[in-house]
Structure 1
Amino acid sequence: MSAPPTTDVRVGRNRLFRSLPRGSLVLAFVVVQLTAFVAAYAAGYPTAYPVFVVLSVFATAYAANEGAFGISVAVLGSVLLVAVGLPLAMFVARQNPSLIVERALDPEVHRMLYLSVYGPLLAALFSLAFGVPLALALARGFPGRSIVESLVDLPLVVPHSAAGILILFGFGQGGAFPQLTLLTTMTGMVLAMVFVSAPYAVNSAREAFASINDRVEYASRIHGASRFETFRRVTGPLALRGILTGGILAWARSVSEFGAVAIVAYSVRFFYPPAGGKVISQHAPIFIRKAYLTGGLESSGAVTFLLLLLSVAVFLLIRWLAYDTATTTGGMR
């Protein structure tokens, strides 16, 4: 008994789709999307582009023979991609190149960009240095672990401005470390960033440790390795990808922090190598808000564009280096 014609068409379409190189398909899809957006924007009908995205995703899923459920998943997911991607595309399309160049040459912007990369980097390193041991302990388990996990996750639900107030009460004047100067200092800025970003580093590392098979560590121990050697040679390398991912997320979260930093260190005095001394600037979200209030949407948009470029470049570089290191280390014996 021969297969129905519709089945033959589906099978043939599926084989054709799968025979094409995945990289070429992705590139072609991206090129089509960019072309469609440029055409819709140039024609003055940017509203047509979200419709095109949903229809093109539907057509792609249909061509891939994903079935009714797969097509529904792809189409519904594309709606969220539109909500995230469309503002970015419209933002880039509406920028003034001459204004971007002008702000890119502004030394004040240079200081802001340096601070907005350097400060979050210190916060991410601090979160990893002390968060990884805590994550390992949480993955192994101990009495009262649920209480500690709740404490770690608490900054995720605390309003950002409230986080800054908590930092001042805990570490500022009259707090546990009154000798620390927090207001307008790099110390205060980093502590505020650590408070809001540490959960990402701890939780990512904890999940990485928890996913390791206990038999691997047990085999290391019965062959004479100490607990430290087992961690250095087995547990650490296997969890390295998750640890690095947590560090990247902590850095990204620190870059975007506004409320806590605005309370603790609205303006920061820090050492700036090109100046050979200390200068004063603001963290990127605060700087952008000030640029919006004083220069309007175009001025703040140009600064935001530069920050996005730098953030994406740093993010991709760190991610590439991190995952390359994790893959190399994980493959060592």
Structure 2
Amino acid sequence: MAPETGASAGAGRAAGPGAVVAFVAVQALAFAAAYALGRPGAYAVFAVGSVAVAAYALDGSAFTVAAATLGSVLLVALGLPLAMFVARQRPELVAARALDPEVHRVLYLAVYGPLLAAAASLLFGVPLARVLADGFPGQALVESLVDLPLVVPHSVAGIVVLFGFGRGGAFPSLSVLGTTTGLVLAMVFVSAPYAVNATREAFEAIDGRLAYASRIHGASRFETFRRVTAPLAVRGMVTGGVLAWARAVSEFGAVAVVAYTVEFFYLPAGGSVRAQHAPVFVYNTYLQRGLAESGAVAFLLLVLSALIFLLVRHLTGDGGSTGGIAR
């Protein structure tokens, strides 16, 4: 019998679900205690140290302990502000904002607008991703154009959309400024790269022999796409759609330039209403009413976004994002 390798030995000591739950519970209790004592910064030291101890218990190698410890510093930098944000909310203020009809319209638009943008990104992004996965001359230029919005400053993106589609733009009869159309165009501009790139990676992960087998058995390229490659890449498409939706939800600069206040169809009212995109509304609330009021609205938006994100993850399963087959 072959001797046990380091990898298999580490896997043999992998933590079970109970240990993970216990670790998370300890972290929550430690943060609560540090916050109650007015020393939340002490929790950061505890969190990094506890991760180092857990890594040593699970693996024992110096490299793993060092990697886990350094990685935990980033996790603390991401998680501690969120924990502080939640802990400092005033329940009565959050409840009051949750019952505010104006906030209802803002949250509705925060789901409705980004959902339209994500759908448009997938509708036109999936065919583009399929072509990019196949490869063609000049592909690098197209990829650069797709990725360019990732590095364009947000306010610049809004200006670009107005120059392209606003008054005097490519479609003079198209109403963009302050409309749902402009809102969606601004969101698509900044979020489409996420949908295209995630879907392209899903197509690239599929074994090319499957498409080849489909073709030699008489299927057309469209039938091969519909019956073979698209079903295998569907998880990547969903991931791209979720990323595009999330990016659109968080967009501020481009939306503030193109559609600061938006008129849109509000289903509960059965007609058109006006509201601001959530990040714009949160910013205005901060300027006009202070940190506590804006924090309450931001908390509601954070909870809503997290619930939708978790729901989509649950519906699409826990597998890899590409949907490809194991090789």
Q: Normalized against structure 2, the TM-score is what?
A: 0.93
Shift of 1:253: 0.2
Counterpart CA distance in 2 for 1:250 and 1:294 is 30
Counterpart CA distance in 1 for 2:38 and 2:268 is 44
Matches within 5 A, 1:131-210: 131-210=125-204
The amino acid that maps onto 2:25 is V
Q: Could you tell me which residue of structure 2 aligns to residue 41 of structure 1?
A: 35
Counterpart CA distance in 2 for 1:167 and 1:136 is 26
Q: Could you tell me which residue of structure 2 aligns to residue 105 of structure 1?
A: 99
Q: 2:266 aligns with which of 258, 262, 272?
A: 272
The amino acid that maps onto 2:92 is S
Counterpart CA distance in 1 for 2:288 and 2:199 is 42
Q: Could you tell me which residue of structure 1 aligns to residue 296 of structure 2?
A: 302
Counterpart CA distance in 2 for 1:23 and 1:164 is 46
Counterpart CA distance in 2 for 1:314 and 1:154 is 28
Shift of 1:326: 9.2
Contact 1:248 1:319 in 2 (8 A): no
Shift of 1:98: 0.3
Counterpart CA distance in 1 for 2:118 and 2:19 is 36
CA-to-partner distance for each residue in 1:284-303, whole Å, 9 max, x for gaps? 10000011011100000000
Contact 1:131 1:198 in 2 (8 A): yes
Q: Could you tell me which residue of structure 1 aligns to residue 207 of structure 2?
A: 213
SS at 1:47 equivalent: helix
Shift of 1:330: 7.5
Contact 2:206 2:324 in 1 (8 A): no
Q: Could you tell me which residue of structure 2 aligns to residue 61 of structure 1?
A: 55
Q: Could you tell me which residue of structure 2 aligns to residue 322 of structure 1?
A: 316
Q: Does 1:71 pair with 2:65?
A: yes
The amino acid that maps onto 2:166 is G
CA-to-partner distance for each residue in 1:125-161, whole Å, 9 max, x for gaps? 0000000000000110111111000000000011100
Counterpart CA distance in 2 for 1:197 and 1:217 is 29
Q: Could you tell me which residue of structure 1 aligns to residue 124 of structure 2?
A: 130
Over 3 Å counting, the alpha-carbon distance change for 1:320 and 1:161 in structure 2 is same
Q: 2:228 aligns with which of 217, 227, 234?
A: 234
Counterpart CA distance in 1 for 2:135 and 2:310 is 34
SS at 2:40 equivalent: coil
Q: Percent identity?
A: 66
The amino acid that maps onto 1:63 is A
Contact 2:182 2:258 in 1 (8 A): yes
C-alpha RMSD of matched pairs (Å): 2.0
Contact 2:157 2:189 in 1 (8 A): yes
Q: Could you tell me which residue of structure 2 aligns to residue 6 of structure 1?
A: none
Q: Normalized against structure 1, the TM-score is what?
A: 0.92
Q: Could you tell me which residue of structure 2 aligns to residue 287 of structure 1?
A: 281
SS at 2:290 equivalent: helix
What are structure 2's unaligned runs of at least 5 residues? none
User: How many positions carry a matched residue from both structures?
Assistant: 318
Q: 2:115 aligns with which of 111, 121, 144?
A: 121
Shift of 1:240: 1.1
The amino acid that maps onto 1:283 is H
What are structure 1's unaligned runs of at least 5 residues? 1-10
CA-to-partner distance for each residue in 1:4-37, whole Å, 9 max, x for gaps? xxxxxxx9xx979946762111111110000000
Shift of 1:277: 1.1
Over 3 Å counting, the alpha-carbon distance change for 1:17 and 1:45 in structure 2 is farther
Contact 1:237 1:326 in 2 (8 A): no
Counterpart CA distance in 2 for 1:325 and 1:22 is 19
The amino acid that maps onto 1:282 is Q
Contact 1:200 1:246 in 2 (8 A): yes
Contact 2:107 2:301 in 1 (8 A): yes
Structure 1 segments of 4+ aligned residues over 2 angstroms from their partners: 14-21, 322-327
